[in-house]
Structure 1
Amino acid sequence: MIEIVGKVVISIIVVVAVRLGWKILNWAWLNPKKLEKLLKEQGYKGNSYRLLKGDLIELATMVKEARSKPMPISHDITSHVLPYDHYIFNKYGKKYYIWFGPKPRVYVMDPELIKDILTRPNEFQRPQHEALRDSIIGGVVVSEGEKWTKHRHIINPAFHLESIKNMFPAICLSCSEMIKKWEGLTAGSGVAEFDVWPYIDNLTGDVISRAAFSSSYEEAQNLFGIQKEQMDLAIKLLFLLYLPGGRFIPTKANKKFNENRNKLQTIARGIVDKRKKAIETGEASNNDLLGILLESNSKEIKEHGVGMSIEDVIEECKLFYIAGSETTSGLIIWTMVCLSLHQEWQIRAREEIMEVFGTQELHFEGLRHLKTVTMILNEVLRLYPPATMLLRATHKETKLGDMMLPSGVNIIIPIICVHHDPELWGEEATKFKPERFSEGVASATKGKGSGCFLPFGGGPRICIGQNFALIEAKVAVAKILRRFSFELSPSYKHSPFAVFSLPPQCGTHLILRNI
């Protein structure tokens, strides 16, 4: 009897081992080779698949090399920001792929195909598991299907223009406080040379703290401070996160990352619970993002029985920071760099701001009259897009244009490459020319469609916070230009690098002068 049981146990172990071995073999070699063959049949080119590592080693080496030193001052930043992608593009042409471990990433740069992908979100979804993204970002950005539809519907009222208008005083207050700090630095001589990046970075965090969580301002500041540390840690853990079980390897950074994750949940839950109780007792207003979100969620539950869970609301709160702070700080800082390099546009923008507002306080209605500022911001968004790429995936065999993409392929829309493409934007695609937007975005893309200009994505899943970001940027630029002129410092180092957004790796040293 014991012998029979022993044989059965051994048989089970063998069967399990064989099945597990087959799965590993299929994941690590057979499926990648099958996908490689299918992609080549569709006319795509790339390096041959190499077991497990794919192109990761070369990619990491080139990224490390690019980040080890600044680049020459130029708006032609693609080779510095995405060095390996740029290298493969030059080697194989626009129809190329790279190996991110055992997963191929197909690059799509044709505007019509991009538009097709973004208008079919149910067929071209975000990858179900994406290590770096999932370690930081949650909420509506990563939701799919019915969950995304419901959450987007609930969140929408928080970003209506009327809601943003109510947050306008908070935006102005944060900007004014930053200006006062700069006035302190320039007091006396009227001139100061310093790194403006930390101030801009703090500004946008301050704005979203007030606008999203006005009655929990201090807790929000703490929440966002930890969230920023998480983003820095995620970069250190970049390739470790893509190893199976990598987040459980007991490194110092991993341990700190997991501690912070728990802290974030506790702080965010405390903010949400406190606000819910205050609303229920009539002690809190609903004029900030969190209040509007909770009110909209409560209405959804009353009308349809199901809304967002507390965990869902917490994820949206954490997302507010990255979506509302990181992208806008990049837009403002690169605008200051561009206006430092192109003084004629700095002068034109200042003249327009003075014409619209004079020396009076800014008012919400006046922002729509800032035509030159809008042109400048659009050009900065084109040259220095907040997100350098969009990631989608096929979950079944899917038709795209005249191609059939196999299941299990990741699709990259390299926004920064599209924005710098001479075939779409002309020979001066890498030049700062805001006048290209003088007749609006549609005219600037010369009839090539919405797939050419993607600073906030596109299609039904276009960034919900784009109006908030643009209004905040206009307020900041208007207040700065009315009070200071500025130029690049001799110590300035041009160093855009891609993380979740496009910050300056070496800061932004400028010379500011009182006006």
Structure 2
Amino acid sequence: MNYVFIFPLFFTILFTILFKYIWIPMRIQLHFRRQGVKGPGYRPIFGNSAGIQRRMFAEAESSRSVSFNHKVVVERVMPQYYNWSKVYGDTFLYWFGSKASLALSDPVMIKEILVSESGSFGKIRFGPALKLMFGDGLVALEGERWVVHRRIANKAFSMERVKEWVPEIVDSIRNMMSKWDATIEASNKSEFEFDVHKEFHQLSGDIISRTAFGSNFSEGKRIFELQEQQSVLVLRSSRNIYLPGSRFLPTKHNKTLWKLEKETTKLITKLIEKNKNTKQNENTLLTAFISPSKKDDILDLKEIVDECKTFYFTGKETTANLLTWAFLLLGLHQEWQNKVREEVDRICGHNVFPSADNLADLKIVTLILNETLRLYPPAGMMVRQASKNVKLAGGLDVPTGTRLFLAMTAVHYDVRIWGEDANVFNPMRFLEPRNHLASFFPFGLGPRVCVGQNLAVVEAKIALAMIVSRYSFVVSPSYVHAPMQSLALQPQYGAQMIFSRRS
């Protein structure tokens, strides 16, 4: 055996491990402690995340709220932030493997990070599971390719384009309500109970299929089912540290992910091929990606498939969950439900559907949706990474590679920003101007703000107006208030509500 080569190789590997997993993290930890930023101490290789954070999430998601209390949201959605911020303050350092993560809830710093166009703050690379689910879609891209994809998506989701989709949105909601009416008639009862979370997922799935892809829920149903299965596996992966190369191993988890991705890609590719040569539905998102207005914006098939994956999932999840929380809140607060009903009857007329022309007049509906997004934001948190050494507001020096955990939900519940009633449903607070741009950012801020927010808000406005106009509703006694952060904030056990038809 030639020890001349083995010993240098051994010491090189050992030095690399010590440098990467011990020296650098300990140096970063000391760097922040000198600035007064503390946190749970670094433990080599596994940081303080693999077991501790996973246990925190498990404990949070196993608890059941006795009442419909908004105070539990931060505790259940961001248990690591909730627990560690009580010990170390609002700004603290924790670890995901050997990666330093700086938790922040200061609106000044958050605005600086999200609105910056200096290139100092980039996206975190997707893990293997998330990469399989979304590919290189808009939410993952950076640089020149992101600029191209964003330009196409901006045009496709412009408010002018979304207003053209209003008749399609109204039609989808009418179809859903017709099914509800048939259920009432078949039961011979004056009221009926169902899980609105499931209903709104089907509704938003139908709307995104029709408006963005010129399809319908039935055609996209299998894609939605596949993506829901993928999201469960992605969530599980996100709470574990990725070991380099493990994504290539034929484990049960990986084989399931590969199978789901393969079928999803196949179905979306068929949908694209079906729409390529048709001149119908020219205003859809799919048409915008297949036939962009600029020659420089032409995308290849894989790019189009990846964008379809992204918008199929986000287009359904965002609005479905927004509507779910809004209806639960209105079921709990009958006085606000009545105010919406009075406003809709005054502006649209009884049994008359909203139009693109009067959506802006639904002021109370807008207040309620904003307060819902404050209490139950879709993402819960945002993550960025320092692309170079930067100094944040107040002189906080952040080294290259530091992950920045922006605790959106904590900001939305901060009594210093929203007052002592921050845990209370109070839409009237949005009549007053906010002191800081980053005190409320459910769809993000800056150049990477959610491109589909116009559709999400318009869709939610119309659905809320149409349903409240026809039905009255309350939260069912069987409902368990258990907000849970999957890839979007959702009720862990569904959202059971009792509806009755208005005369």
Normalised TM-score (structure 2): 0.93
Give distance in 2, aligned partners of 1:11 and 1:314.
52
What is the CA–CA distance in structure 1 between the aligned matches of 2:171 and 2:458, rounded to whole Å?
14
Alpha-carbon deviations, 1:271-317, whole Å to 9, x = none? Answer: 223322x14xxx43412111123232xx322xx4x633221111111
Structure 1 residue 450 corresponds to structure 2 residue 437: yes
**Matching residue of 1:67:** 61
What's the counterpart of residue 174 of structure 1?
Answer: 172
Contact kept in structure 2, 1:330 and 1:386, CA below 8 Å: yes
Aligned mates of 1:236, 1:106 — CA distance in 2: 22
- State whether structure 2 residue 379 is matched by structure 1 residue 384: no
**1:167 touches 1:288 (CA, 8 Å); kept in 2?**
no
Q: Which amino acid aligns with 1:258?
A: W
Report the Cα offset of residue 154 of structure 1.
Answer: 2.1
| 2:37 matches 1:44 | yes
Q: Does 1:81 align with 2:72?
A: no
Identity of matched residues, %: 35
Report Cα offsets for 1:47-102 as digits up to 9, x if no partner.
11012222221111111111113223211121122122100011111121221121
* Residue 93 of structure 1 pairs with residue 86 of structure 2: no
What amino acid is the match of 1:317?
C
Q: Give 2:271's aligned residue.
A: 271
- Equivalent runs, 1:364-513 vs 2, <5 Å: 364-401=356-393, 402-439=395-432, 443=433, 445=434, 447=435, 449-513=436-500
1:241: how far off? 6.2
Q: Summarize the Cα distance change of 1:427–1:133 in structure 2 as closer, same or farther, 3 Å threshold.
A: farther
C-alpha distance in 1, partners of 2:223/2:194? 27
**Larger CA deviation: 380-389 vs 63-72:** 63-72
Shift of the 136–24 alpha-carbon distance from structure 1 to 2, 3 Å rule, reads: farther
8 Å CA contact 1:43–1:95 kept in 2: the answer is no
Indicate the larger mover: 195-204 or 485-494: 195-204
Query: Which residue is equivalent to 2:203?
Result: 203
**In 2: Cα distance, 1:64 partner to 1:222 partner:** 30
- 1:30 corresponds, among 19, 23, 26, to 23
Q: Is the 8 A contact 2:128 2:247 kept in 1?
A: no
User: Per the alignment, do residues 176 and 18 of structure 1 end up closer, same or farther by CA in structure 2, a change over 3 Å counting?
Assistant: farther
Q: 1:34 to 1:356 in 2, by over 3 A?
A: same
Q: Which amino acid aligns with 1:123?
A: S
Single out whichever of 202-211 and 332-341 deviates more from structure 2: 202-211
Q: Aligned residue for 1:118?
A: 114
- Mapped to 2, the partners of 1:19 and 1:70 lie a distance apart of 51
Which residue is 2:159 aligned to? 161
Deviation at 1:269, TM superposition (A): 2.1
Structure 2 counterpart SS, 1:356: helix
Whether 1:316 and 2:311 are equivalent positions in the alignment is no
Q: Which amino acid aligns with 1:151?
A: H
Give me the whole-angstrom Cα distance separating, in 2, the residues matched to 1:240 and 1:95: 23
- Counterpart CA distance in 2 for 1:169 and 1:222 is 25
Match for 2:373: what amino acid?
L
Range moving further from structure 2, 466-475 or 362-371: 362-371
* Secondary structure at 1:169 match in 2: helix
The separation in 2 between residues aligned to 1:22 and 1:132, in whole angstroms, is 31
Residue 11 of structure 1 deviates from its aligned partner by 4.9
Query: Aligned partners of 1:253 and 1:202: how far apart in 2?
Result: 27
1:32: Cα distance to partner?
A: 1.3
User: Which residue type is aligned with residue 18 of structure 2?
Assistant: L
Distance 2:95 2:249 in 1: 24
Does 266-275 or 38-47 show the bigger shift?
266-275
Residue number in structure 2 paired with 1:325 = 316
The answer to whether the 8 A contact 2:96-2:241 is kept is no
Contact 1:71–1:80 at 8 Å: present in 2 too? no
**1:105 aligned onto 2:98:** no
1:403 is matched by which residue type in structure 2?
Answer: L
RMSD, aligned α-carbons: 2.0
1:402-440 deviation digits (Å, cap 9, x = unpaired): 12201121001110000000111111111100001125x
> Deviation digits for residues 173-219 of structure 1, max 9, x if unmatched?
22112212222332221201222211111111111111121147654
3-state DSSP class of the match of 1:365?
coil
- The Cα of 1:135 is off from its aligned counterpart by 4.2
Task: Identify unmatched segments of 5+ residues in structure 1.
Answer: 1-5
Does 1:355 find its partner at 2:366? no
Other-structure match for 1:3: none
Residue 15 of structure 1: how far off its partner (Å):
4.4
* Conservation of the 8 A alpha-carbon contact between 1:286 and 1:295: no
Preserved contact between residue 213 and residue 220 of structure 1 (Cα < 8 Å): no
The structural deviation recorded for 1:326 is 0.7
Equivalences for residues 216-231 of structure 1 within 5 A: 218-231=218-231
Further displaced range: 462-471 or 141-150 = 141-150
Report the more deviating stretch, 312-321 or 69-78. Answer: 69-78
Q: Kindly tell me: are residues 240 and 425 of structure 1, through their superposed partners in 2, closer, same or farther at Cα, counting changes over 3 Å?
A: closer
TM value normalised by structure 1: 0.91
2:133 is aligned with 1:136: yes
Q: Residue 186 of structure 1 contacts residue 512 of structure 1 at CA under 8 Å; is this kept in 2?
A: no
In the TM superposition, what is the alpha-carbon distance from 1:136 to its structure 2 partner? 2.8
Could you list the runs of 5+ residues in structure 2 that have no partner in the other structure? none
AA matched with 2:285: L
Residue identity matched to 2:287:
G
Q: Is the 8 A contact 1:219 1:267 kept in 2?
A: no
| Matched residue count | 493
Native 8 Å contact 1:328 1:469 kept in 2: yes
CA deviation string 1:440-493 (max 9, x = no partner): xxx1x2x2x211111000011111111110001011111210121111111110
- SS of the equivalent of 2:105 reads coil
State the Cα distance separating 1:497 from its structure 2 match.
Answer: 0.6
Inter-CA distance 510–393: structure 2 relative to 1 (3 Å threshold): same
How far is 1:330 from its partner? 1.0
For the residues of structure 1 that align with 2:114 and 2:239, how far apart are their CA atoms?
Answer: 28
Aligned residue identity for 2:58:
K
